[in-house]
Amino acid sequence: MNRYLGICIALLSAIGSMGDAMAKNPIDLTFSGTLLEKQCIHDSAEDAQLVELPLLSIKYFQHYGRGPATRFALRFKDCSAATLNKQVQMVFHSPQTVNIDGLTMLATDGGTGLVLGLNNADGQPIVPEVPFKAGVITQTGIGSTNELLFDVYPQAVDRNAVNPGDYSATVTFEMSYL
């Protein structure tokens, strides 16, 4: 027992000596980081982006019910190195949605009887207000460009109640990096 007590006292003395040495020569520990305004910049000359849909007739919707998909891209430039290989998660927000055949679609202005559906690049439906994986950042640095692809298509709510005229819907989006 005295032997164990002696070992414990010797260990405590050694630890105390180390503490004295560290107190005489303190070590600095510095933390630093960078705060970015944006990790990527939306590559648009304006604050809005317009996607033009093809000109179609009422008869087209009466016959098919749904218009062809129009591919569009959201481009992001000058992404920071911190975003390289990061998964982009997006959410599209819209104040006006409708449920058509189990899909949440964008209500349109204009009284045409059309709604708009959104799909990701793989053709899977995008549900407004629900986060989804949109792609990966593969290019970083000044002058870099990343493109995330989507599809939008018009659909008649009722094939027999389509009216001529202009139609439009607007979404906003948020993105984060996983």
Predicted pLDDT of residue 25 = 79
Does residue 144 lie in a domain region? yes
Q: Is residue 35 part of a domain?
A: no
Query: Taking the C-alpha atoms of 75, 127, 63 and 157 in order, what is their torsion angle to the nearest 10 degrees?
Result: -120
- Residue 18 to residues 10, 24, 27: CA-CA distances in angstroms? 13, 10, 13
- Amino acid, single-letter form, for residue 41: I
Distance (Å, rounded) from C-alpha 27 to C-alpha 18?
Answer: 13
- Quote the pLDDT of residue 126: 97
Domain that holds residue 151: 41-177
pLDDT at residue 27, as a whole number: 79
- What stretches in the chain show pLDDT beneath 50? 5, 8, 10-11
In a domain, 11, yes or no: no
User: Given CA atoms 108, 170, 177, 139 in this order, what sign does their dihedral have?
Assistant: positive
Cα torsion through 86, 91, 41, 107, rounded to 10: 150
Q: Is residue 79 part of a domain?
A: yes
**What was the pLDDT predicted at 42?**
84
Q: Report the alpha-carbon distance of residue 162 to residue 164 in Å, rounded.
A: 7
Looking at the domain assignment, is residue 124 inside a domain?
yes
- CATH number for position 69: 2.60.40.1090
Structure tokens at 31: 């933390």
Instruction: Specify if 142 maps to a domain.
Output: yes
Is residue 8 situated within a structural domain? no
Question: What is the pLDDT, as a whole number, of residue 11?
Answer: 47
On whether the CB atoms of residues 137 and 37 are closer than 8 A, the answer is no
